[in-house]
Structure 1
Amino acid sequence: MTDPWQRLGAALDAYAVVAPRDSRFRPAACGHCHTAEELAALAGPVESVPGRLLAAVAYRSPGHWSDPTALLRRLAPRLMRAVVAGGQGVGAGSLGTRFRQADWPRWPEPERVALLTLWRTWFDLTVRHDPAPVPVDEVLDLVATATGGLAPWLDRWPAAGHPVADRRLAELLDGWVVHDRADALRLGHGGEYLAGSELFTWLNGLDPARLTPDQRYALALLDADRP
């Protein structure tokens, strides 16, 4: 399968196949925030859950739900389809935080393998191909937060000379280095993942020729300001 969009679609489908679909699942939540009808919708067919309830699962803290991990595992395929398509009300960083809080590496092997494959496929497509429905910084917000590591994803970036990947890198670093402080980068729902030190180390190992003059200048200022 050579078409990147087909590969992404296949990865989404493969993840949906292995995700739990227990029809006996009955979620409970804060009665002030959700009606009995909404909880019944969350317990019903995954495909029929309204988009605003999907977004609530990504946005609300785990303490809001009686069994947040079971709820996330059940709805994660649809949540990933929503965020891959451009969000549809589902925040990438928020969803990354929920995956981390749900300790996805301890999920059954078929689920975690399919999920990691999906994340890798999505990231690689975003970096290498046009159009990209989701900006690469948002993709990284989800996958780096969920996996607890930014550098391994940045290391997947193609070598210099790939036109789309070079442009994506320039766009990413304009935001993270020129307009913000690279060493203060925070990812996740509440900025709980402190990724700045990791980013700064990665940047210092990057070929300076891959940086624009503005990026090199901003990084030099940052380097001089560090103890």
Structure 2
Amino acid sequence: MSSWEAAKRRMYDVFGHVPRPEHADGCSHCVAPGEDRPLLAGPVGSIEAAALARYAAKALNTWGGVAEFRYFLPRLLECAAADDFGYPDPEIVFGKLASADWRVWPEEERDAVAGFLGEWWHETLRRHPVRPSIDTVVCALAATGMDLAPCLEIWSRLDTDAAINHLHDFVLTGLSGKRLTNAFWDRHSPAYQQTLTWLTGGPAAAAVEAAFAAQTREPLLELLAEIHPALLPPHGDG
């Protein structure tokens, strides 16, 4: 079993103690009577993504509270990480972790969630192309309220073809001038500034320069050369 599959399995194991709700009621204007029944009819891991999508969009807002959210959590994150919902977007689903204040949950649950998030990042950097895109993954991780420094430090190594391709993609699609373009970014959040500083304050440029010096393959050298100017700090800042 891969470390990514093990992280998903651990989520199911750790949150398996959360009691199945008798009902998962929602706002009467937003959730039809009995709409929760298909979600509670069998094991949480067997819920089809299409059936869970409406709950995923409304959870903690107009459908259920933290107790129900914790019950569905392993399946919610599994589907969101695979971009299986279509809507809601992964950034919305992962942002609900912050709304549920997951960092004050019991230690075993926090560790399981943190392990899942970390392995999702590793799994993303292992492959290219990926779904969801690197821009979505970074923004979704930021939406949880986690510290992105370890993720950015791993990415800075640029030690795989996939990592280089992902940085190229991110610079072309997720960065415009000195701002991040994903509409789900909270531009007042520490994670936004952390990511933007890494990209445009010098660290990413230094990583590209180191990778360029170590790389010998022309296609990758071209990718690195293309994005390097966008990552240089403004004159006098670094």
Bin for the TM-score computed over the shorter chain: 0.7 to 0.9
Matches for 1:1-227 after TM superposition, within 5 Å: 6-19=2-15, 20-45=17-42, 46-47=44-45, 49-60=47-58, 62-67=60-65, 69-89=66-86, 90-130=88-128, 132-157=130-155, 159-177=157-175, 180-185=176-181, 188=184, 191-194=185-188, 195-203=191-199, 204-206=202-204, 207=206, 208-209=208-209, 212-219=224-231, 223=234
1:163 Cα deviation after fit? 1.6
Given the superposition, is the C-alpha separation of residues 48 and 196 from structure 1 closer, same or farther in structure 2, using an over 3 Å criterion? closer
With structure 2 as the length reference, what TM-score do the two structures score?
Answer: 0.76
Cα displacement string for residues 39-92 of structure 1 (whole angstroms, at most 9, x for unaligned residues): 33344432454534522333226331342x112211111112212323333421
Identity %: 24
Given the superposition, is the C-alpha separation of residues 52 and 162 from structure 1 closer, same or farther in structure 2, using an over 3 Å criterion? closer
The count of residues paired between Structure 1 and Structure 2 equals 215
1:201 Cα deviation after fit? 1.7
1:215 Cα deviation after fit? 3.2
Structure 1 CA distance for aligned equivalents of residues 7 and 101 of structure 2? 21
1:100 Cα deviation after fit? 0.6
Structure 2 CA distance for aligned equivalents of residues 216 and 196 of structure 1? 21
Structure 2 CA distance for aligned equivalents of residues 113 and 125 of structure 1? 18
1:12 Cα deviation after fit? 0.6
Counterpart secondary structure, 2:20: coil
> Unaligned stretches of 5+ in structure 2?
212-222
Tell me, yes or no, if the aligned pair for 1:14 and 1:114 is still in contact at 8 Å: yes
Given the superposition, is the C-alpha separation of residues 66 and 131 from structure 1 closer, same or farther in structure 2, using an over 3 Å criterion? closer
With structure 1 as the length reference, what TM-score do the two structures score?
Answer: 0.79
Counterpart secondary structure, 1:223: coil
Given the superposition, is the C-alpha separation of residues 183 and 133 from structure 1 closer, same or farther in structure 2, using an over 3 Å criterion? closer
* RMSD over aligned Cα atoms: 2.8
